[in-house]
Chains A and B, each alone.
Chain A
Amino acid sequence: DTAVSQTPKYLVTQMGNDKSIKCEQNLGHDTMYWYKQDSKKFLKIMFSYNNKELIINETVPNRFSPKSPDKAHLNLHINSLELGDSAVYFCASSQATGATAAFFGQGTRLTVV
């Protein structure tokens, strides 16, 4: 059983398109996150949700819109994709915020051409 699963694993799309990445966790965690890993492997948080409520929005362009239909799911929709959006996007979850560890999905490698 995969704890945090993301789909798709790979996504190649043209500039200007709109795409979504889905994330589901079966750990019963209350908090979910999106992190972005750039070409230099640097990881930075984008968003966090706690029980479907947006907690962190880390200066991400408005083209990125997370949606949490329930606490087990956190999807990421990206409008008008740009070349600079090419990266690996990781979903993660944790029991709560604070003294808990985050568990990560396998990542979605997005390539914008």
Chain B
Amino acid sequence: AQSVTQPDIHITVSEGASLELRCNYSYGATPYLFWYVQSPGQGLQLLLKYFSGDTLVQGIKGFEAEFKRSQSSFNLRKPSVHWSDAAEYFCAADFGNEKLTFGTGTRLTIIP
């Protein structure tokens, strides 16, 4: 079945430290892949997307993600987090069925 998995429910990092949020998908081909961020009480903001081509994609707010076909992964990274990055992060995929399938989200807490 087509699915998106975010193995980490909650991650805590210190301000200034690097960050990697994991995302895996289950699909027989390469889906379109997205990362969204949801700040408390807010909507979903698109951070970045991957459709094809270069497997390292740059997004807003200093985020990047790398698509690895061999691992069916699309992990989100940031070299140095800021307190304002504390939020819920969602990985999503379009499996060619004209809708987004979301992972369960990873809550990011930043320690001063």
Contacts and interface: CB of A to CB of B under 8 A. Distances in A.
Interface residues of B, number: 23
Given A99-B51, A101-B49, A106 B102 contact: no
Contacts, number: 54
Given A58-B99, A102-B100, A106-B42, 7 more contacts: A35-B100, A42-B105, A43-B102, A90-B44, A98-B32, A98-B96, A101-B34
A104 B36 contact: yes
B44 A45 contact: no
Contact of A45 (B49, B52, B96, B100): B100
Dominant secondary structure at the B interface? strand
Interface in B74-100: 88, 90, 92, 94, 96, 98-100
B58 interface: no
- The range of chain A's interface size is 20 to 34
Contact of A44 (B43, B51, B102): B102
A69 B105 CA distance: 33
B5 interface: no
A75 interface: no
Interface of B: 32, 34, 36, 38, 42-46, 49, 51-52, 88, 90, 92, 94, 96, 98-100, 102, 104-105
Nearest to B102: A43
B88 A41 contact: yes
Contacts of A99: 32, 51-52
A105 B43 contact: yes
Interface string A58-99: 100000000000000000000000000000001010000111
Given A90-B43, A106-B42, A55 B104 contact: no
A41 B100 contact: no
Contacts of B42: 106-107
Nearest to A107: B43
